[in-house]
Structure 1
Amino acid sequence: MKCAVIGGTGLIGSQVVKKLNAAGHEAAPLSLSTGVDVITGRGLEKAVADADVVINLTNSPTFDEASLTFFQTSMDNVLAASHKGGVGHVVILSIVGTDQVPGFVHYRAKTLQEEVLKAGPIPYSIVRATQFMEFIDAVLSSTTEDGTVRLPSTLVQPIAAQDVSDTVADVATGPPLNSTINIAGPDVFSLDELGRITLNARPDGRTVVTDDTAGMFAAVHGDAIIAKGDARIASTHYNDWLTHPRTGST
């Protein structure tokens, strides 16, 4: 199977490309560094021509209002190029609960991306994942001041990037779902608790203070970004990942 992986040099994309090629498929990583620009369309038509599946793993460079334009334009361009190239399946990676947090503009933008894909002319699959374990350090850093990390008690269900890439690769090589699947890690934490667990395992002098107004996750209430129903639950536990962050795939 010929697979065009847009965003194929990033955290998830590079692993998806590796997994697909190891399984005997022909997966090409596409990104700005390979001459493909999803905003201007440069190199896009040629890159996806005759692909069996296009996997779009690109993300907006910002979390502000500009992300709405990014996802509208990029999805329009990907769909147009894919349709012209005879692609039979388009897969995107989204976020669990993205349509449940209207106060977070980046989540609204991801919802828009999903809607554009659903309304398009090509069979599709949407994989929604919870927050990546690999991003927890960045979340802590974003609310750190003078050695204190301020985090809300927002409920989160972190998942390892390897588990996400496993699912994306599996979905991409199957028939189009024309629907959405949710994937998540096996454990639910409050974000402030997760911060304390992380710093206990990797102490650096910082302490965590609970502040329900701090950071971007303050806009999330209740269990809005927790996987529910028939979600696929991965096997990698956060505490295990902290000890062996490069292992523990499903």
Structure 2
Amino acid sequence: MSLPEYISTIKNFLTEHGFPDKIDAAVILGSGLGGFGDEIENSDSIPYYDIPSFPQSTVEGHSGSLIFGEVDGKNVLAFSGRFHHYEGHDFAKTVLPVQLASAFDVDKLIISNAAGGINLRYHVGDLMIIDSIIKQYTMVSEPAENTWSSSFEQYAQEVRTIARDLNIETQMGTYLFVKGPNYESKAEIKAFRKLGGDAVGMSTAPELIEAAKLGVKTAAVSLITNAAAGVTGEKLDHGEVKEAADKKKDVFAKLVKGLIEKF
């Protein structure tokens, strides 16, 4: 089965289970941020394992379900659980949510993640709007012309304006993608900072490039859930990621709802 046929099969399965042909907005929820699903009204949820041939999300903090419902009168599709390359998925599988969102003809896509802060001015709990990425790998088929990088900055400025209107403080910076699953060393973080990285994580970059290729208007936001290795001297663990995400869930939900309405 070709990829377009595969996407069409999944969409048909979902429409047969009550999903509409056209969805206004899609949201990919990062580690610990799945609580946004509670903000979706009149919602229905389908576990990934109930969707034929759909990949599974195995990371703690990712529930692994597709949620459909309404936010302020708009149809919203939320992916509570993403697919990371380090889980054994090839890069084509990591961008499946983007392709499915495009198949539903979404007007906007909102991508979120939990990230480590490289920039020394950042603090745990900061929201960083992604305006550029640094990647060390060819991940997915990319457009021949590097048009996607300029779209990041254009959309990032719009996202920041919306955040300001909502009285939400944000940073704006460069997201550096690593494959994972191990946290980075102190030496790597020093090198990443010299490269211009403001935050580091193990997702999002493939999704952003795929969204640009498909012409999907996309906002991307990182929640700084921990200081990267060597910044504070403390040991990194996934528990602090979930704790930081939980503390910021209300502000994060406010921003996402604002983006669904105004972006």
TM-score using structure 1 length = 0.41
TM-score using structure 2 length = 0.39
More relative contact order, 1 or 2 (CA 8 Å, 6+ apart): 2
Q: Rg larger in 1 or in 2?
A: 1
